């Protein structure tokens, strides 16, 4: 009979693995800035108040049952999510040409998109930013979808390599799929400006590319849901074909509830019907149907004007605390006289700071100072607090000297 003695142990996940190492560290000083999860200024995970209220409302609903959802998920939830992504005034939504399925958060949305591509965009390559959230690459590998990269990061200026990005998107074969971070690029914290987005759109349009917006941080770049959707909505208005993966992990703090959507823009409502029927089949054979609880929370908040406003306020507060920590870390480094320029810490946006520390310096941060960050220099600013910021700054100061 088969044994599994020959199965090699897999390497730790590049992000979740750092988290595991953090858990095992017994140092009292240890700091975890590896994972993109929001923490309060006390360093604690946070459940949003609008979420608690929605859950209380859900408990009161006597007709709430635990029946299966359809493969594509809850229809009302999906409609509310579409509005949040494309906007109340979206022409695409008015003409009924967006196919959207509820998914297992953003990762599930990405995987569903990859499975769809494997069936209906055979041989097409997905172009992913370099660098990116590493799972973009591994999802494509696991799903068997060819992928390549476009330049994104200009290390010297710690900003966007727009010329390189445009050149690579231009050089991609016509009708390729270009993965774009909708807002708050992970890991660099650098988004294109409105003007740069315009240039990216022009090239994508000329090359008839499909643009795949990965929206995992809507509201985290500027604190405003609509402003953070501006680029994607401009592409939609311009009529470019889009895929959109959406996650409520960060902006709703619903990490473990696995709430998201995947959308495909189509030409006609008939095409939407057919595409949805195909997504149903893919989902049926992956996990049958999505979980209800998280979607019910989001549905409750998005359909209640008072709760919706409360959520927007809470989202703004989270993004403001992160901005405060950027300033605090910058100030600490400046007062220590740490060699180098650190203005990128305050100019970068979203959850992360791409510090520019070398892999060796990152290793020292972890091994010597117990500051758990990614080896590519990414620090989750959401894990920085007024208590640990001095310690983190001192550690950075030590490893760069």
Question: Which residues sit at the interface with ligand PMP, rule CB under 6 A?
Answer: 36, 105-107, 133, 181, 186, 214, 216, 247, 249, 255, 260
To the query of whether residue 208 is one of the catalytic residues in this protein, the response is: no
- Please state the closest distance from residue 369 (CB atom) to ligand PMP, in A: 24
User: CA-CA distance, 276 to 73, in Å (whole number)?
Assistant: 11
Classified as helix, coil or strand, 100 is strand
Please, are residues 103 and 243 in contact by the beta-carbon 8 Å criterion? no
- Please state the closest distance from residue 67 (CB atom) to ligand PMP, in A: 25
- Please identify, using beta-carbon distances, which residue of 100 and 186 lies nearer to ligand PMP: 186
User: CA-CA distance, 264 to 212, in Å (whole number)?
Assistant: 9
> Which of 30, 53, 250, 299 is an active site residue?
250
- Please state the closest distance from residue 249 (CB atom) to ligand PMP, in A: 4
Query: Each residue of 364-382: b (16+ CB within 10 Å) or e?
Result: bbbeebbbbbbbbbbbbbb
- Please identify, using beta-carbon distances, which residue of 165 and 216 lies nearer to ligand PMP: 216
- Please identify, using beta-carbon distances, which residue of 37 and 92 lies nearer to ligand PMP: 37
Please, are residues 228 and 222 in contact by the beta-carbon 8 Å criterion? yes
> Which of 74, 168, 214, 228 is an active site residue?
214
- Please state the closest distance from residue 306 (CB atom) to ligand PMP, in A: 26
**Is omega for the bond preceding 300 within 30 degrees of 0, making it cis?**
no
- Please identify, using beta-carbon distances, which residue of 17 and 173 lies nearer to ligand PMP: 17
- Please identify, using beta-carbon distances, which residue of 108 and 266 lies nearer to ligand PMP: 108
Please, are residues 227 and 191 in contact by the beta-carbon 8 Å criterion? no
- Please state the closest distance from residue 206 (CB atom) to ligand PMP, in A: 26
Strand-strand pairing, 371-372 and 31-32: parallel
> Which of 53, 133, 191, 292 is an active site residue?
133
Sequence-separated (6 or more) residues with CB below 8 Å from residue 177: 117, 121, 124, 125, 126, 127, 209, 210, 211, 212, 243
In sequence order, what are the beta bridge partners of 243?
Answer: 212, 264
Classified as helix, coil or strand, 9 is coil
CA atoms within 13 A on the CB side of 193: 6
- Please identify, using beta-carbon distances, which residue of 15 and 336 lies nearer to ligand PMP: 15
Q: Which residue is nearest to ligand PMP (CB)?
A: 106
To the query of whether residue 30 is one of the catalytic residues in this protein, the response is: no
- Could you identify the residue written with the tokens 């967006």? 98
User: CA-CA distance, 106 to 62, in Å (whole number)?
Assistant: 31
To the query of whether residue 342 is one of the catalytic residues in this protein, the response is: no
- Please state the closest distance from residue 335 (CB atom) to ligand PMP, in A: 32
Active site (catalytic) residues: 133, 214, 250
């Amino acid at each position: 009979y088969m044994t599994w003695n020959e199965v090699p142990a897999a390497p730790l996940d590049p992000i979740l693995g750092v988290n595991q190492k953090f858990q095992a560290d017994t140092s009292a000083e240890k700091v975890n800035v590896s994972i993109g999860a929001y923490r309060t200024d006390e360093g604690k995970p946070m459940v949003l108040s609008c979420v608690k209220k929605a859950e209380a409302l859900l408990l009161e609903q006597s007709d709430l049952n635990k029946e299966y959802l359809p493969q594509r998920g809850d229809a009302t939830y999906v409609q509310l999510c579409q509005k949040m992504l494309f906007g109340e005034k979206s022409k695409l939504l008015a003409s009924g040409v967006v196919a959207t399925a509820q998914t297992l958060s953003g990762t599930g949305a990405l995987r569903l998109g990859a499975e769809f591509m494997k069936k209906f965009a055979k041989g097409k390559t997905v172009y992913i930013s370099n660098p990116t959230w590493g799972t973009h690459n591994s999802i494509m590998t696991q799903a068997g979808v060819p992928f390549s990269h476009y330049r994104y990061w200009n290390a010297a200026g710690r900003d966007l390599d727009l010329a390189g990005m445009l050149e690579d998107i231009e050089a991609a074969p016509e009708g390729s799929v270009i993965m774009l971070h909708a807002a708050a690029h992970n890991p660099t914290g650098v988004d294109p400006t409105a003007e740069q987005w315009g240039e990216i759109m022009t090239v994508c349009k000329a090359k008839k590319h499909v643009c795949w917006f990965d929206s995992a941080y809507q509201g985290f770049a500027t604190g405003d849901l609509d402003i953070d959707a501006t680029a994607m909505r401009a592409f939609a208005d311009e009529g470019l074909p889009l895929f959109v993966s959406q996650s409520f992990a960060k902006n709703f703090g619903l990490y473990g509830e696995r709430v998201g959507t995947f959308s495909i823009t189509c030409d006609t409502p008939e095409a939407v019907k057919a595409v949805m029927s195909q997504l149903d089949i893919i989902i049926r054979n992956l996990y049958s149907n999505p979980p209800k609880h998280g979607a019910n929370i989001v549905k409750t908040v998005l359909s209640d004007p008072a709760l919706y406003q409360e959520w927007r306020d809470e989202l703004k507060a989270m993004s403001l605390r992160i901005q405060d920590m950027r300033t605090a870390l910058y100030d600490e480094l400046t007062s220590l006289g740490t060699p180098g320029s650190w203005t990128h810490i305050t100019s970068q946006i979203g959850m992360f700071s791409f510090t520019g520390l070398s892999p060796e310096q990152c290793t020292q941060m972890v091994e010597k100072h117990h500051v758990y960050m990614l080896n590519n220099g990414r620090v989750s600013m959401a894990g920085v607090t007024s208590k640990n910021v001095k310690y983190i700054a001192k550690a950075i100061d030590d490893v760069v000297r």
